[in-house]
Amino acid sequence: MSDLQIKIMAALKTVMDPDLHKNIVDLGFIKNMEVKGGQVKFDVELTTPACPVKEQLKSECSTKVQEIEGVDSVEVNMTANVRASEHSQPVLTGVKNIIAVASGKGGVGKSTVSTNMAIALSQTGATVGLMDGDIYGPSIPKMMGIPITPPKGGPNNKFFPHENHGIKVVSAAFLTEEGQPLMLRGPMLGGIITQFLQNVEWGELDYLVIDLPPGTGDVQLTLTQKAPLSGGVIVTTPQQISLIDAEKGVKMFEQVKVPVLGVVENMSYFVCDGCDKKHYLFQSGAGKSLAEQFKIPLLGEVPFIPDVVISGDNGVPITLSQPDSPATKAYQALAGQVAAQISINQAKGDSKVGAGFELAWKE
């Protein structure tokens, strides 16, 4: 390493990742350093392309290196290599991180949040899948603009997810005629979810978002027992009454030791077209008080905008149809926060017995 390179590394050592609380050199983010005369070029490889402080880190690196004597120009290239949450389960082997979106209560907008969060993650460059865990009321295909056709089968009972807007999707809606109800008793639900986990050819995914049905029943239990979840996100609406159920969602994850990444308050406020005032239709603060009560991050407050619903009905989610909408901004911030929380949890790196642990007893 040349003297200049040593100086550059020393300068980069003063750049801290605000989420992981370590400097970016020790985190191993600096890659492909090239120094030719006074021209410096290197990559900063983050743990997620959805990193909320990407631009801030880039400019800090650039400024600090620029200040070194002998440096004429700096080229910082931001890349990402999503790290996999540790698991050795025989399911979902190509999937690096699994995010379950839950609420205790129905009608809070889990599917809308899941869909838009999945798209926001993919817009950052991540490969993303979306599993519709709501077997009785699947709504993801409609929101994603995917017509109901049977999934394409592969060898060994496997089948391929549908795909639209760059997102791979599985849903129980594809398993029945359009508009026909799936009438099943509880134990069958676990069977379908197990199929979704074991038999879908997801390929390589950075993030799999699972849209859970409301409640704390068969689907939730099967998933927490069989899928190596990286974390759960709780969706609530602002009124205090929805806290009763949202709390149960948090406690469900806690009891099965799935890290709670945070809470999202959906339909937070309404901005009418006549004035810019935020109208809190359902009062406010449930998301915040839930976050405070359980000491978990408040990941975002998504405004109540009719276009969110219209976009969902048209099959082009608002994160795609209206890039500048306040709702889109909220979803993008949410995706960044979720990805950051997963990276933070991974960085804690405490070695625990994983979900795929097995021990054969010897006589």
Partner 1 sequence: MTDEAVKKNQPDGPSPKDIKQVDAKTLGISWSDGHESVYPVKLLREKCPCAHCIDEWSGEKKIKPGSIPDSIRPLKLNAVGLYALQFEWNDGHSTGLYPHNLLRSLCQCQECIAESVA
Chain positions contacting partner 1, by CB under 8 A: 224-226, 228-229, 254-258, 260, 294, 350-363
At closest approach, how far in Å is the CB of 334 from partner 1?
22
Q: Which is nearer to partner 1, 270 or 294 (CB)?
A: 294
Q: Which is nearer to partner 1, 35 or 347 (CB)?
A: 347
Q: How far is CA 261 from the centre of its chain?
A: 9
Distance CA 67, CA 64 (A): 5
Map residue 102 onto helix, strand or coil. strand
| CA gyration radius, the chain | 22
Residues 6+ apart with CB under 8 A from 21: none
At closest approach, how far in Å is the CB of 210 from partner 1?
14
Write the CA distances from 200 to 93, 161, 196, 203, 204, integer angstroms. 11, 7, 6, 9, 12
Element (H, E) at 39: strand 39-46
At closest approach, how far in Å is the CB of 114 from partner 1?
21
Distance CA 111, CA 109 (A): 6
At closest approach, how far in Å is the CB of 71 from partner 1?
45
Q: Which is nearer to partner 1, 119 or 243 (CB)?
A: 243
Q: Which is nearer to partner 1, 275 or 360 (CB)?
A: 360
At closest approach, how far in Å is the CB of 298 from partner 1?
17
Q: Which is nearer to partner 1, 252 or 339 (CB)?
A: 252
At closest approach, how far in Å is the CB of 299 from partner 1?
18
Q: Which is nearer to partner 1, 217 or 315 (CB)?
A: 217
Residues 6+ apart with CB under 8 A from 345: 85, 230, 231, 259, 261
